[in-house]
Amino acid sequence: MIRCRIAVFGAGAWGTALAQAFCNTHEVSLWGRDRPHLEEIAHLRENRRYLPGVRLHDTLGIQADFRTAAEQADLHLVVTPLAGLRETARQLRQLRPGTPLLWACKGFEAGSGLLPHEIITEELGPDAPCGVLTGPSFAAEVARGLPAAVTLAARDATFAHHWVGVLHQPLLRIYANTDLVGCEVGGAVKNVMAIAAGVSDGMGFGLNARAALITRGLAEIARLARALAGRSETLMGLAGMGDLILTCTGDLSRNRRVGLALAQGKSLADILSELGHVAEGVSTAREVVRLAQRHGVEMPVCEAIDALLHHGLNARSAVERLLARDPREE
């Protein structure tokens, strides 16, 4: 097995979980923007803010200096919220150009509507050695060493297969893919669908309704992926169906919890304040609807959730809007 030095940028739940997982076989350092938070992690060997109760390996390095983390790594792994991807990539380009880069951010960039790989292309160029790590994986379970399977997608099949070989582990299985668009659309839009599933469950509509919502949600995701030149079969795998099912049904899902709270009549501001984490589906809903309209893609579930989150529609009206749609062929 090849042992390498990995710098993980982003000390939230998912960044910490991946750092914990990979330090079983690699030399890993974890960087975050909040120095006092990093000092607390180093002292307690626990990320109490985002992963309480998980004892971090003694071999996991905590690095407060961005330059040191970047310059000493063979692989850069960016696990910031999507809003931080562009600036992090820009800094890495200046410090260590050409270093292989993976990101685990999901969503569409606010304002531009760009997918993560499009942001990376703008910042690092079209030939940068890079890819996305995505799929059905709750941070708390990965950090505790429970089994999971994810996808590593890159334009360059050789790059994808190489890093799958380096990073693949018995309890964190990684599969190669070359459909960046399909994988990223699946990872982004499933967060919007999870909010919808939370609303449905919170209003007591039952398991039948949830199954229908997930199924129709997958159809919406596939339509958008195809419009953006992604492959339909990608959405049948880990980065599509797998991630969608997990996020819509698992109680650890932040986006699902947003939907549950909306069904209780709570305001979005209060929900996000109580959550204490980024719920990417909130900002993604707006960008998905804009993108769908631009490409002429029908996405009624996403439109209803966007109206609920950003245009004053209440939860019951959002559901009634979906139920009132005309019957049609599947």
Residue 71 falls in which region: left (phi positive, over 0), alpha (psi -120 to 50) or beta: alpha
Name the pairing type of β-strands 101-103 and 75-78: parallel
Q: How many CB atoms lie within 10 A of CB 36?
A: 8
**What single DSSP character describes residue 14?**
H
SS3 of residue 87 by DSSP? helix
**What is the rounded radius of gyration, in angstroms, for the C-alpha atoms of the chain?**
19
- Catalytic residue set: 190
Which stretches of 51-179 are DSSP H helices? 66-71, 85-95, 116-124, 139-143, 157-167
Residue whose token pair is 């710098």: 7
Find the helix or strand (DSSP H, E) in which 103 lies: strand 101-103
Q: What residues have CB less than 8 Å from 141, skipping those under 6 apart?
A: 148, 252
Residues in the chain: 330
